[in-house]
Structure 1
Amino acid sequence: MQGLSVPDWTGVSASLLLVGLAAFIAYRQRLELTRELVIAAVRAGIQLVAVGAILLVVFRHTALPGAFAWVIVMVIIAGQVAGRRGAELPRARRTATIGVAVGATVTLGALVLLGVISTEPRVVVPVGGMIVSGAMQATGIALRRIGEDARQARPAIEARLCLGLPARQAFLPYRRSALRTALVPSVDATKVVGLISLPGAMTGLILAGVDPLTAIRYQIVVMYMLLAATALAALTAARVAERALFDDAHRLVLLSD
């Protein structure tokens, strides 16, 4: 395996010129995003350095329990982020956290138990991160769509309830719509993988000198696990959110502004 040429800190500093270019474009076009863009770039750099230092400790001293603990931290953070997308829903952050946790636990657990991936911390953490990220995005999209539909289609939902349909049946078309919307990005990405871009896992392995055919095997696993994680997370979050939308008498609750 050939050695990987990694940019030194001088190279990292030089890449700030690209951030400057993006900030200049935002300023010249009066997008009112210049300050936010610069803050995001600085924040990302600080976060990555901090995470790198933490992972160094995890990999060297805490072994597998530390790796799974870090995945749990990622799930909690992802739940908070995804919950903001459906902030108008009751207990949105709790719902999002449950969705992400189920998607990540089942998917990562299956990969470990079936021996698809190694149980080394340096494998569990990045793979877990990809799973949690995919679950977070799908959960956030599903909750946002459910919130929008529950508000905009309230008369239609209440009409279905008046016809005698239980809450689950009255809301079923909107749950399906939310799940379809949440899964479309993952499905589309899977359709064109390798044709439009080389995904992250495959690119990283190729840059590290791994044979492309070997990298492809890993990428196939990644794409399949993301499909499972997004589907499980979105479905779980949608079902939990749906229950919170109705009271014990199957009445649609009022949503927060």
Structure 2
Amino acid sequence: MMPGNHTIHYHEAEEGGGLGWMVEFLRSMGKPVAATAVVLLAVVLSYLQKLSLEGEMLYAMFRAFLQLSVIGFVLQFIFNQHNAGWILLAYLFMVTVAGYTAGQRAKQIPRGKYVAGASILAGTSITMLLLVLMRVFPFTPRYIIPVAGMMVGNSMTVTGVTMKRLRDDIQVQMNLVETALALGATPRQATHQQVKRALVIALSPVVDNAKTVGLISLPGAMTGMIMGGASPLEAIQLQIVVMNMLIGASTISSIMSTYFCWPTFFTKAYQLEPKVFSQ
């Protein structure tokens, strides 16, 4: 049970001592292995249709299995430590990988990986701090790491789209932006429409997902709790919290990315940087 005015109950599995969890993990791998039959069916269909995706499908399945297995052992280790340092280390690792991935989407932006990383860090840390201060989640690895992972993942996608779209729109409308700058507009004023368009496009999927949650499909967090034995009423409480925090973190991250991009878009004389928009 978590503290707060509106208490939320969460289902937790009991932890075994010593290496018991590893033995239990190996015993429970029967179902995941059996589920590979679905992938094998997809491989056969790809071969029959001559899609040439068989190798990629098998590689993707193997990589997903390996990555999830490794992260499962890592999380089990961190959960058993009860140390705030491991929480911060795992969080910073996720932000670093997310910043690199989002920066790859906007390769034309100088120091794009750092811009994306700083934006994601700002959005997710502010949101996480508010949730902890309001006692929605306790500051423990079992809660913070999964929650941070969801926020970082969504912020990564939104930030990458915002940065790329903003740069591309400014490039297409360089004449309008340069005219506004020549008339005395600040970079913010000259690119207001481009910033607005980039943010709307990037955030629309997150907002649309919140509008249709539960009507089209049951989200991952809610599904996981129900399959883990929690009641649907408990599951929807958690999912409401998740949707709220995803919108908050994504919005902050995407807006921050537009501010962090400006030093790379403009010279000190408030002119568009030719190196950024000549590619």
Amino acid of the residue matched to residue 182 of structure 2?
A: C
Q: How big is each residue's C-alpha offset from its partner over 1:72-92, in whole Å with a ceiling of 9 and x where there is no partner?
A: 110111110111111111211
- The answer to whether the 8 A contact 2:102-2:113 is kept is yes
Q: How big is each residue's C-alpha offset from its partner over 1:106-163, in whole Å with a ceiling of 9 and x where there is no partner?
A: 0111111110012221111111111111111111111121122132222322232233
Deviation of 1:197 after TM superposition, in Å, equals: 1.0
- The answer to whether the 8 A contact 1:2-1:209 is kept is no
Describe the shift of the 1:53–1:92 C-alpha distance in structure 2 as closer, same or farther (beyond 3 A): same
Mapped to 2, the partners of 1:108 and 1:184 lie a distance apart of 22
Which residue is equivalent to 1:102? 122
Which stretch shows the higher mean deviation, 56-65 or 188-197? 56-65
Mapped to 2, the partners of 1:225 and 1:2 lie a distance apart of 21
Percent identity of the aligned residues?
A: 35
Q: How big is each residue's C-alpha offset from its partner over 1:194-241, in whole Å with a ceiling of 9 and x where there is no partner?
A: 111111111111111112111111111110000000000100111111
- The answer to whether the 8 A contact 1:3-1:209 is kept is no
- The answer to whether the 8 A contact 2:199-2:254 is kept is yes
Which stretch shows the higher mean deviation, 17-26 or 65-74? 17-26
Which residue is equivalent to 2:8? none
Which stretch shows the higher mean deviation, 38-47 or 132-141? 38-47
Q: TM-score, normalised by structure 2?
A: 0.85
- The answer to whether the 8 A contact 2:154-2:250 is kept is yes
Deviation of 1:12 after TM superposition, in Å, equals: 1.4
Which residue is equivalent to 2:3? none
1:87 maps onto 2:107 in alignment: yes
The unaligned stretches of length 5 or more in structure 2 are 1-10, 15-24
Alignment of structure 1 residues 140-159 onto 2, 5 Å? 140-159=160-179
Alignment of structure 1 residues 239-250 onto 2, 5 Å? 239-250=259-270
Which stretch shows the higher mean deviation, 24-33 or 52-61? 24-33
Alignment of structure 1 residues 114-193 onto 2, 5 Å? 114-193=134-213
Which residue is equivalent to 1:77? 97
Describe the shift of the 1:118–1:91 C-alpha distance in structure 2 as closer, same or farther (beyond 3 A): same
Q: TM-score, normalised by structure 1?
A: 0.92
Mapped to 2, the partners of 1:26 and 1:160 lie a distance apart of 53
Which residue is equivalent to 2:28? 8
Mapped to 1, the partners of 2:47 and 2:266 lie a distance apart of 46
Amino acid of the residue matched to residue 262 of structure 2?
A: E
Query: How many residues get paired?
Result: 256
Amino acid of the residue matched to residue 49 of structure 1?
A: S
Mapped to 1, the partners of 2:57 and 2:265 lie a distance apart of 36
Describe the shift of the 1:54–1:32 C-alpha distance in structure 2 as closer, same or farther (beyond 3 A): same
Q: Which structure has the larger Rg over C-alpha atoms?
A: 2
Mapped to 2, the partners of 1:156 and 1:104 lie a distance apart of 34
Mapped to 1, the partners of 2:128 and 2:49 lie a distance apart of 44
User: For 1:223, which of 219, 223, 243 is the aligned residue?
Assistant: 243
Mapped to 2, the partners of 1:145 and 1:28 lie a distance apart of 39
